[in-house]
Amino acid sequence: MERACGECWVFVEHKDGRIKQASLELMAKGREVADGLSRELAAVVLGWNIGNVAVELARHGADKVYLVEHPLLERYQVDLYCKAVSDLASEVKPDVILFSSTRVGCELAPKVAKRLRTGMTADCLDLRVDASRGLVKQVKASFGGNVMVEVVTPFHRPQIATVKPGVATPVVKERREVVVRVTPKLDEREVKVRVVEKLETQKEDNLELAEVVVAGGRGAGEEGFRLIRRLAEILGGEIGGTRPAADEGWIPRERQIGQSGRIVSPKIYISLGASGALQHVVGFRRAGLVIAVNKDPKAPIFDHADVGVVADVKEFLEALIQELEKYLNAR
């Protein structure tokens, strides 16, 4: 698709009438991109009987909301959603389409890109703008996470990217409410998957929203993670960790923080026994106060910490927890 209308789109995910946190964050990042390119920001939301979602999006910076409703879109199905989004994009010709790097976004974005015969950059850690060329610089880690690169799509439109949750803070930015209602052409015969039964899964954690994150690396060891859980419990925080910690099974894979995991931005980030590899650091670079503990004084993690403690993680945690429990018991 060569000619673009000049709109920047954000694909919005929602559940039970509530917009997902990752989409609110992406709306904030989309607003930055749209302003940088002097474009309109449009939210694209799919479903059935979701007018309340469209109204809420106007409060989060959307100049326009494409409300795509059809009974077949009531539940997410990748083929139907892909057809609805790409058909609309073929008609309107947006300049940019952004998806969150969620399960839905990671599945849907490449299929939409393929139908529109354009490129796509996955798992971006930031988006910047080259206003003079009308390009979105899609920033992501590469070469094993050792370098950051900027990817651009200079010859095809739309420019499509998935963006990691946690790279922006949702903002309330009232705009005039312009809702464009769209009824996609979908056919029951296009339904390839039918929901037979819906099972309750584990509740989503609040890692991206946590004000305190206590994270461990390989240096913490299995015993260290027992203490990390206790410290997080005392501080009312969430637990995270590095990829090696997830590989060892000390934390669930979904609590891995970094390039191939989650992006967090707590007020306090406590790193215990992590070396400070770039792949991990990009996951907490927006944190407020960073406290790092490592027995190696030359560990790179100290280059990214506001407070550094050279100590054995287990000994440090035992002493800190003991003092905190004394304090709590004395209250």
pLDDT tens for residues 220-258?
999 999 999 999 999 999 999 999 999 999 999 889 998
Residues 6+ apart with CB under 8 A from 41: 7, 8, 10, 27, 30, 31, 33, 34, 61, 62, 63, 64
At 99-124, the pLDDT tens digits run: 999 999 999 999 999 999 999 999 99
Strand order of the β-sheet with 7-12 is 120-124, 159-163, 96-100, 7-12, 40-47, 64-69, 179-182
Predicted confidence at residue 201, as pLDDT, reads 62
d(CA 236, CA 232): 6
Predicted confidence at residue 170, as pLDDT, reads 86
Contact criterion met (CB below 8 Å) for 141 and 125: yes
Which residue, 123, 127, 154, is CA-closest to 138?
127
Predicted confidence at residue 297, as pLDDT, reads 95
Beta bridge partners of 215: 240, 271
* pLDDT, mean over the chain: 90
Predicted confidence at residue 5, as pLDDT, reads 66
Write down the number of H helices and E strands in the chain.
8, 17
Which residues in the chain come in under a pLDDT of 50?
none
Predicted confidence at residue 152, as pLDDT, reads 93
Predicted confidence at residue 172, as pLDDT, reads 79
